């Protein structure tokens, strides 16, 4: 977090400065992107209400009885013939519209908004073409799918290295302790930028580290291939009783495309319908399904995924601001049997911790105060990127990268051992470290030959 032009007597300083420099150079554009898109998504409901009030709010009175779900679906199918409704998000509060996920006969999937009291079509949009939708998808994958997801994960993990090395570079030494705890804003030039950089980093380090670690469970490699399989195997993730639900290992995400993090890899229940003759497999219908949901404590503000061809479940879950209110139900589409009734208290310890972290990460748990704290953290990251780039640009010799000097081989080995120990839990970052060390070795060899 701080860059000194002068040599330091501390043996590790130069080595860690070099790591800090290169980690910062790589992560800077991605941290800037994550901060801006994250700040936008913190206020997703407020922004969507401001930009699309005609879609988000119903025209009917708050006291108007809600129409059956089948009427909402029928209105959409009549408006867009040949389309298929795959999911309904019921109004979160009175006066809100219902949002239906629609796959049209031609063109991109979109979201239709329907007045729940009158079944009037209020309009539609394609999610990724909205400000919030673009920020959401770009934040997670740069709109590049799994490749973009891996790049974002890599940048986030290297940002952990950036924080650790930055704190070491900042750490008060000798008689410098007083000057390290209070900023000297009277400084000018590059020293002023350095002062802003190091104190912003110091006071925001814990919150930035929290944002990174609470966001990583969403990552494909660290979250989907490491954290979830390990915690589920140890009984710390989804409820262990769900392991025996299905022999096909089809999960909620495989079928529905979305689920609470704790249940993403939970197997879907098979149900008793498999033993019924095909002639007796009659869909109970969405209205009967919603009535069953209500009987089991899920009367409103839920997300209901509709079974498509070859699927056998009506699956619904609630996703309130506080995860303690999460509730998931799976209903057999042919028998009406509730095959799974899962609540937050059924999750394992690790899944609960992740869901709590996600709620705070998204600015949901403590309302407006939570949003503002996370927004300030995003602003701090933006300030660190800007001040870091300014310092680098001002100190670098013209025509040169201006990287800190190469460290000696023995000291480099020690640094690599320490860094490798810190990165062992981040496989993707570990692979990138191997690549970096290989390239560095080749570069040193070429430099020696030129001499």
Distance, CA of 370 to CA of 183 (rounded, Å): 27
Which pLDDT value is given to residue 175? Answer: 58
Which long-range CB contacts under 8 A does 61-66 form with residues at least 24 apart?
61/117, 62/94, 62/95, 64/117, 64/118, 65/117, 66/91, 66/116, 66/117
- φ, ψ of residue 305 to 5 degrees: the values are -95, 130
The per-residue pLDDT for 3 is 45
Largest CA distance in the chain: 85
- Report the pLDDT value the prediction gives residue 339, as an integer from 0 to 100: 93
Helix axes 13-42, 409-423, angle to 10 degrees: 30
Cβ-contact 348, 238 below 8 angstroms = yes
Find the DSSP H helices in 86-233.
Answer: 131-141, 145-170, 177-181, 190-215, 228-233
Positive or negative, the CA dihedral 157, 158, 163, 165 is positive
Domains in the chain and their CATH numbers?
A: 53-129 (3.10.450), 238-347 (3.10.450.40)
Range 397-433 burial, b when 16+ CB lie within 10 A, else e: eeeeeeebeebeeeebeebbeebeebbeebebbbebb
Closest alpha carbon to 198 in 159, 172, 175, 167? 167
The pLDDT value recorded for residue 35 is 98
For residue 53, give the nearest of 95, 21, 106 by alpha carbon: 95
Give the pLDDT score at 434. 73
**What would the pLDDT profile of 267-317 be if each residue is shown by its tens digit?**
988 876 666 667 677 899 999 999 999 999 999 999 999 998 778 899 999
What is the rounded distance in angstroms from the CA atom of residue 319 to the CA atom of residue 112? 20
The whole-number pLDDT of residue 4 equals: 43
What per-residue confidence (pLDDT) applies to 312? 86
Residues 6 or more apart in contact with residue 193 via CB below 8 angstroms = 387, 390, 391, 394
Measured between alpha carbons, how far is 73 from 61 in angstroms, rounded to an integer? 21
Helices (H), 43-144: 44-51, 53-56, 69-79, 131-141
User: Which helix H or strand E contains 327, and what residues bound it?
Assistant: strand 327-332
Query: CB atoms < 10 A from the CB of 71, how many?
Result: 16
Residue 32, burial from CB neighbour count under 10 angstroms (0-12, 13-18, 19+): middle
pLDDT of the residue at 204: 96
Distance CA 89, CA 324 (A): 20
Residues of the chain with pLDDT under 70: 1-11, 173-181, 245-249, 272-277, 279, 399-400, 402-403, 405-423, 437, 440, 443-444, 447-448, 450-451
- Residue 201 confidence (pLDDT): 93
């Amino acid at each position: 977090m701080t860059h000194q032009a002068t040599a330091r007597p501390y043996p590790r300083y130069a080595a860690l400065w070099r790591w800090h420099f290169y980690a910062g150079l790589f992560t800077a554009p991605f941290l800037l992107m994550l901060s801006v898109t994250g700040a936008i998504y913190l206020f997703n409901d407020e922004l969507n209400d401001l930009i699309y009030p005609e879609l988000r709010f119903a025209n009917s009175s708050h006291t108007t009885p809600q129409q059956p779900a089948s009427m909402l679906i029928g209105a959409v199918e009549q408006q867009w013939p040949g389309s298929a409704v795959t999911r309904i998000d019921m109004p979160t509060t009175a006066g809100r519209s219902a949002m239906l996920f629609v796959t049209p006969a031609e063109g991109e999937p979109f979201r239709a908004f329907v007045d729940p009291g009158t079944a009037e079509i209020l309009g539609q949009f394609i999610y990724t073409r909205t400000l919030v939708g673009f920020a959401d998808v770009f934040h997670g994958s740069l709109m590049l799918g799994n490749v973009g997801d891996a790049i974002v994960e890599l940048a986030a993990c290297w940002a952990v290295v950036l924080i650790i090395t930055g704190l070491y570079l900042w750490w008060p030494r000798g008689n410098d302790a007083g000057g390290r705890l209070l900023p000297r804003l009277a400084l000018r030039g590059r020293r002023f930028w350095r002062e802003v950089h190091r104190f912003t980093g110091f006071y925001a380090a814990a919150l930035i580290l929290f944002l990174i670690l609470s966001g990583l469970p969403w990552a494909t490699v660290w979250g989907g291939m490491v954290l979830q399989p390990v915690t589920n195997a140890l009984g710390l993730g989804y409820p262990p009783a769900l392991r025996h639900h299905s022999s096909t290992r089809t999960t909620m995400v495989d079928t529905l495309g979305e689920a609470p993090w704790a249940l993403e890899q939970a197997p879907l229940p098979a149900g008793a319908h498999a033993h019924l003759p095909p002639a007796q497999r009659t869909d109970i219908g969405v209205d009967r399904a919603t009535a069953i949901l209500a009987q089991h404590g899920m009367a409103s503000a839920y997300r209901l995924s509709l079974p498509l061809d070859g699927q056998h479940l009506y699956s619904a879950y609630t996703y309130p601001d506080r995860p303690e209110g999460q509730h998931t139900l799976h209903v057999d589409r042919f028998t009406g049997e509730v095959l799974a009734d899962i609540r937050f208290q059924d999750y394992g310890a690790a899944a609960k911790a992740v869901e709590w972290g996600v709620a705070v990460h998204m600015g949901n748990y403590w309302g407006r105060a939570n949003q503002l704290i996370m927004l300030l953290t995003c602003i701090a990251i933006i300030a660190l990127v800007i001040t870091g780039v300014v310092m680098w640009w001002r100190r670098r010799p013209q025509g040169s990268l201006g990287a800190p000097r190469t460290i000696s081989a023995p000291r480099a080995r020690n640094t690599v051992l320490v860094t490798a120990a810190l990165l062992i839990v981040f496989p993707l970052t570990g692979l990138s470290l191997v690549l970096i060390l290989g390239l560095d070795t080749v570069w040193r060899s070429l430099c020696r030959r030129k001499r």
